[in-house]
């Protein structure tokens, strides 16, 4: 048995700027990744992303989380086997071919995303804090994909790679093309994939300078 106080676990910022406490190690969890998040107004759990081999469940205990979802043209979530092998290929979309949507999850509610489904949760409230428990299984969930199309071959998603000390890059699982993933305006590494305002495309937003970059 492992028993922890969430408050006693050290915090680290998530990819979306939220306050994250990683519970998997303190709980010695073998098969499930567990994170607790607190989101201030405007903060995100993470940018739009999918895991090739991990389902994710979010349980909201305080406030409201708005989840953006993105379904690339050519189909919804990949069948599990296909997702693992082809990295979410969607038939040569440009990254602007797809359908965005939003779903609101309130305190006392939960939401589950299958492997291959692109999602990003935000606290859209003006002055309310949100608390969320996130479960991912299996714990090591295969590769991550962001729905920013490959400029070289048009593949609809790419793999973020941010090895320690190296410039973060986006790597295409189809053609292996590799591009700088930092902000073109300020070189910040805090780039997040989000739905464009009209929900018909995915763009990159810099959390430091606010630059918006089309896929
Ligand atoms: Zn490519
Ligand atoms: Zn920037």
pLDDT score of 22: 97
Going from the Cα of 184 to the center of ligand 1, the distance in angstroms, rounded, reads 20
Q: The whole model's pTM is what? A: 0.87
Which domains does the chain show, CATH number per domain? Answer: 6-214 (2.60.120.10)
Going from the Cα of 48 to the center of ligand 1, the distance in angstroms, rounded, reads 19
Q: In whole angstroms, how far apart are CA 37 and each of 11, 60, 185, 214?
A: 9, 10, 29, 28
Going from the Cα of 197 to the center of ligand 2, the distance in angstroms, rounded, reads 19
pLDDT tens digits, 163-179: 878 899 999 999 999 99
Q: Which ligand is nearest to the CA of 190?
A: 2
Going from the Cα of 22 to the center of ligand 2, the distance in angstroms, rounded, reads 27
Going from the Cα of 111 to the center of ligand 2, the distance in angstroms, rounded, reads 32
Going from the Cα of 90 to the center of ligand 1, the distance in angstroms, rounded, reads 12
Please report, in tens digits, the pLDDT of each residue of the chain (215 residues total): 999 999 999 999 988 889 999 999 999 999 999 999 999 999 999 999 999 999 999 999 999 999 999 998 754 334 333 333 333 333 333 445 788 999 999 999 999 999 999 999 999 999 999 999 999 999 988 889 999 888 888 888 999 998 878 899 999 999 999 999 999 899 999 899 999 888 888 888 999 999 988 75
pLDDT tens digits, 14-54: 888 899 999 999 999 999 999 999 999 999 999 999 999 99
């Amino acid at each position: 048995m492992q028993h922890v106080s969430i408050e006693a676990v050290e915090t680290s910022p998530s990819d979306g700027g939220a306050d994250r406490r990683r519970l998997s190690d303190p709980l010695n969890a073998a098969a499930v990744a567990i994170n607790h998040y607190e989101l201030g107004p405007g903060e995100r759990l993470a940018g739009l992303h999918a895991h090739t081999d991990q389902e994710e469940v979010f349980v909201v205990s305080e406030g409201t989380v708005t989840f953006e979802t993105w379904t690339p043209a050519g189909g919804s979530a990949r069948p599990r086997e296909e997702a693992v092998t082809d990295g979410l290929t969607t038939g040569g979309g440009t990254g602007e071919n797809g359908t965005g949507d939003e779903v609101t999850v309130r305190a006392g509610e939960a939401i589950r995303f299958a492997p291959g489904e692109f999602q990003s949760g935000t606290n859209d409230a003006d002055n309310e804090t949100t608390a969320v428990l996130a479960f991912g299984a299996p714990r090591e969930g295969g590769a991550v994909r962001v729905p920013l199309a490959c400029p070289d071959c048009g593949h609809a998603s790419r793999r973020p790679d941010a090895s320690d000390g190296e410039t973060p890059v986006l790597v295409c699982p189809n053609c292996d093309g590799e591009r700088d993933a930092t902000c073109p305006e300020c070189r910040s590494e805090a780039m997040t994939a989000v739905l464009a305002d009209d929900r018909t495309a995915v763009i990159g937003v810099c959390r430091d300078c606010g630059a918006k970059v089309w896929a």
